Structure 1
């Protein structure tokens, strides 16, 4: 089956709408012209207008050029959600550099690998002691030409800055005497003035690293045109774009592609205000909704669960919230129903990948929101469902197969593809490695990752279907299913469950209930109850980490 979607896809778009390939920095330049005095960022009560954000991003661009940045120079960002991130991000892109995102949660080994693989020459970080070890490793290994170090007091309101300096001074890292290390203020005020380069929309803007289908970290090479296309697609399907004032929760980590597309670039394109939260805390997110009357939220299901479980939810009005984007992991029907009933806000589930600049499909703002689906493909985005073992064979309606995607947001390929081969692109089609099917009406429903599928004596078992059956048990809050070895049939499912507060049950009782809901080959061989599931950087359950932990445990007891 093939679902080809353009402007008549089911997502209404403005008459005459078309994509305009742009450099990412142009999004900020245009919004600063159209919304100069409108708040762009709110961080702990300190405001940057669009005029101020552009001025500081331009100053950062001058600083990067003064450090020798040329077209394509890789500039790494090792930053939490503070104003340093958007200023350095747009500044580096205005200077013609390629941004490389690093998670502040990475180990020194992971940071060093990615810095080597990407060829990062300049890194931007904060002087927080807990984040310093990977930066010292880069300096010791001689991997950086320059390390730019910011601090929190310089971006906080005056009184909070004084309080931080007094109460948190032990959390700050003294800077080494090293000619390669310079401060954030030095970057922003270098003295010299350089002409900003003309940036080609086809140039690589962002190297976004992903584990991919092989588990080997790879840098998805995303062009300026890829990133701005995704921002324009998201704006086009929003019936309120250009007519309502957007106030967006910035709690998702900006170094993740989900936040890059749905929080940062989309908001800047629309002239919205981003309330930045350095690290997601449900109480702080709820306080931001109350204080700033937020209109748009973006998060993974665990974030929405945490907000409605928090005691402050009862005193928080969601009346101004127009929509809540959910991605990164499937949201259970029970959570969606409870969240919408509790808050009155509408949840729009979607689907995307690092390799697609963020978003492929999403449930529509207006019309049917189909629970459990990834919604409708974005404008100018095509989806194919093919036989994973014979990719040239298109599958029929509602047949599950591998999802292929083609559109203006799809990457050009992987960085250093000679090292990270094979390429997942053929004739512009991205082989996602995800399994799913298209329902009547064009809604995409995901089944699983192809690599997560469990082969039980030749029978295909989709973990998501077993998880859905487990979650019908009222005692179970979360469930994750992985493959474990079986000497007779090769593999069998094992389920890990987290219980709802106040509920008690046993693995035997869970197995008894789930056995009537799944086939014999789908029944878990083992069930283990955990206090919590391991999670990825953005908070979704981490199947890979759980499988690794299980394999290590089995090896140790073999």
Structure 2
């Protein structure tokens, strides 16, 4: 057993919260079953004017399970979800699991080549999607050239409070696609057209895969992380321990309202919004996409108490016109994940709302919990928090992963815990390469831990820039640039440099109304803040910066643009 000296975070946990507390694990569908038993008449979902109670949600899930079983879903069968945040997602997710199948998440923003790879790699034969022009045609094309056999197609309007009016508006706006009528298509309404008497498949092994969650695929094609019932339910228990546990709980079961604007097909939202939300009997206010006008309106009018997001969302709210006129005082728990949270954004959001914006770290392979920042207790600016309940962290030399570095030194962060995936689908070599000899998962994040157990992410190992023999981390440069009063968003990448090998280039989106910024002005601002080897050598102003499906800033597109530009030159 490690000592307190080896686990310095233990002494800084919120009073009454134990790092070594037992974590309850269970089959994922039981999260819903227990919520229905406790809060049957309370609203579970709020979508386009319609509220669905926990009891009604359970009925819809059981009918979906019956419908999926009629399509042949059983243990070993993988069903894809190609959906935005609508009730279809929640119903299909639990319907597939109750039918005995495995859920495979698909991002609506994936390129067709990536979608086809996921279909083949995961052996997906059935896909659930919507009749949106932005979704259906991609899957319809895959019916003819992949192993995909069946499309279950719903309509966003059918889950709203006014189906006919909403469908008419969407059709007039050109948002809907024409759906083929043949044996390869099934309407979502027809999937549910039964009495809900499905055959139950008890989960005998909690290490059975519940969800195949594909990684972002920043290098090569995405890999499918096998997330088990134990992984996902342990992650929920970790969040429960740190928000509803201890002497001063932040949240109260059965009393919370969650703004679910992060896409549920992404692991962050899947666990923190949907699974955790259901576990504590919260009402989920579903937004199909992030629209700052709609988000601010619902935060204020619907008295949202829980708002998990990513830094770009909080940035948009901070800069929203007349934001001070909106009452955001109902917020109790706002967690930022998915990307490092700029210090300036954190402080500005807290000044605006009075709610402490806490930061956590995690990734697809960790379901996605890893670290947390206590709402009540010690917090450190720039830190993503400390190891959450049941999680062990260690840091190894970037160039020699067999050597563990001393506390306070930078190294690749490695994690062990009940929330860590069991491996990558069909990729035993990649799984083995991602693990240390003593069973820790290598995250690819460069970080360090201080004497109090707080973790500071430096950067991704793959994003590290090698400048004249020095390791330069873009996040350090980005944090310095964020201090400039004109900067709204920034991404820094390494570009070829004949003299130094690589040098940093900053892509910047300015705040509305800010004066144009020159490279010379930026360099003058950064000189007291950065070392010479870290100084930005090139800069490009953009109206907007590329983002991932979950809304975090993405460097991949910028790197590819630079490569194409240099190849053309």
1:542 pairs, out of 530, 554, 564, with 554
Q: Is the 8 A contact 2:7 2:453 kept in 1?
A: no
Task: State the Cα deviation string for residues 148-167 of structure 1 (Å, max 9, x = none).
Answer: 00002210003xx2222322
Shift of 1:178: 2.1
Shift of 1:146: 1.6
- 1:440 aligned to 2:442? no
1:208 pairs, out of 188, 207, 213, with 213
Q: 1:102 to 1:297 in 2, by over 3 A?
A: same
Corresponding residue for residue 170 of structure 2: 168
CA distance in 2, matches of 1:526, 1:322: 41
Larger strand percent: 1
1:224 pairs, out of 202, 226, 229, with 229
Task: State the Cα deviation string for residues 410-452 of structure 1 (Å, max 9, x = none).
Answer: 0001011147565412333110000000122111110000111
CA distance in 1, matches of 2:14, 2:154: 42
- 1:555 aligned to 2:567? yes
User: Which region of structure 1 is more displaced relative to structure 2, 7-16 or 213-222?
Assistant: 7-16
1:234 pairs, out of 236, 239, 243, with 239
CA distance in 1, matches of 2:9, 2:526: 41
1:359-370 superposed matches below 5 A: 359-370=369-380
Corresponding residue for residue 47 of structure 2: 43
Q: 1:247 to 1:20 in 2, by over 3 A?
A: same
Q: Is the 8 A contact 2:77 2:101 kept in 1?
A: yes
Task: State the Cα deviation string for residues 281-301 of structure 1 (Å, max 9, x = none).
Answer: 111111112222111101011
- 1:523 aligned to 2:525? no
Corresponding residue for residue 431 of structure 1: 442
Task: State the Cα deviation string for residues 95-130 of structure 1 (Å, max 9, x = none).
Answer: 121111111122222211111111111100001122
1:179 pairs, out of 183, 188, 207, with 183
CA distance in 1, matches of 2:176, 2:54: 30
Query: Secondary structure at the residue paired with 2:560?
Result: helix
Corresponding residue for residue 320 of structure 2: 310
Corresponding residue for residue 449 of structure 1: 460
1:10 pairs, out of 10, 13, 35, with 13
CA distance in 2, matches of 1:13, 1:65: 45
Corresponding residue for residue 508 of structure 2: 497
CA distance in 2, matches of 1:381, 1:110: 32
Q: Is the 8 A contact 1:456 1:491 kept in 2?
A: yes
Shift of 1:463: 0.9
Query: Secondary structure at the residue paired with 2:403?
Result: strand
Q: Is the 8 A contact 1:11 1:376 kept in 2?
A: no
TM-score, normalised with respect to structure 1: 0.95
Shift of 1:219: 0.6
User: Which region of structure 1 is more displaced relative to structure 2, 16-25 or 354-363?
Assistant: 16-25
CA distance in 2, matches of 1:315, 1:55: 41
1:138 pairs, out of 138, 142, 155, with 142
- 1:84 aligned to 2:95? no
Q: Is the 8 A contact 2:25 2:237 kept in 1?
A: no
CA distance in 1, matches of 2:64, 2:218: 36
Shift of 1:242: 4.5
- 1:352 aligned to 2:362? yes
Specify every segment of 5 or more residues in structure 2 that has no aligned partner in the other structure, as ranges.
244-248
Shift of 1:512: 2.3
Task: State the Cα deviation string for residues 196-239 of structure 1 (Å, max 9, x = none).
Answer: 10123211011111135744310111001100100111011112
CA distance in 1, matches of 2:144, 2:15: 54
Corresponding residue for residue 258 of structure 2: 248
CA distance in 2, matches of 1:98, 1:429: 26
Task: State the Cα deviation string for residues 485-520 of structure 1 (Å, max 9, x = none).
Answer: 122222111122222222222112112222332222
Q: 1:403 to 1:59 in 2, by over 3 A?
A: same
Q: 1:83 to 1:258 in 2, by over 3 A?
A: same
User: Which region of structure 1 is more displaced relative to structure 2, 141-150 or 84-93?
Assistant: 141-150
Q: 1:75 to 1:329 in 2, by over 3 A?
A: same
TM-score, normalised with respect to structure 2: 0.93
CA distance in 1, matches of 2:118, 2:357: 35
Shift of 1:469: 2.0
Residues matched between the structures, number: 555
Q: 1:448 to 1:14 in 2, by over 3 A?
A: closer
1:286-325 superposed matches below 5 A: 286-311=296-321, 313-325=323-335
CA distance in 1, matches of 2:284, 2:111: 29
Query: Secondary structure at the residue paired with 2:189?
Result: helix
CA distance in 2, matches of 1:27, 1:509: 54
Q: Is the 8 A contact 1:128 1:173 kept in 2?
A: yes
Shift of 1:192: 8.1
Q: 1:196 to 1:401 in 2, by over 3 A?
A: same
Shift of 1:175: 1.7
Q: 1:279 to 1:414 in 2, by over 3 A?
A: same
Q: Is the 8 A contact 2:250 2:332 kept in 1?
A: no
- 1:394 aligned to 2:404? yes
CA distance in 2, matches of 1:536, 1:46: 29
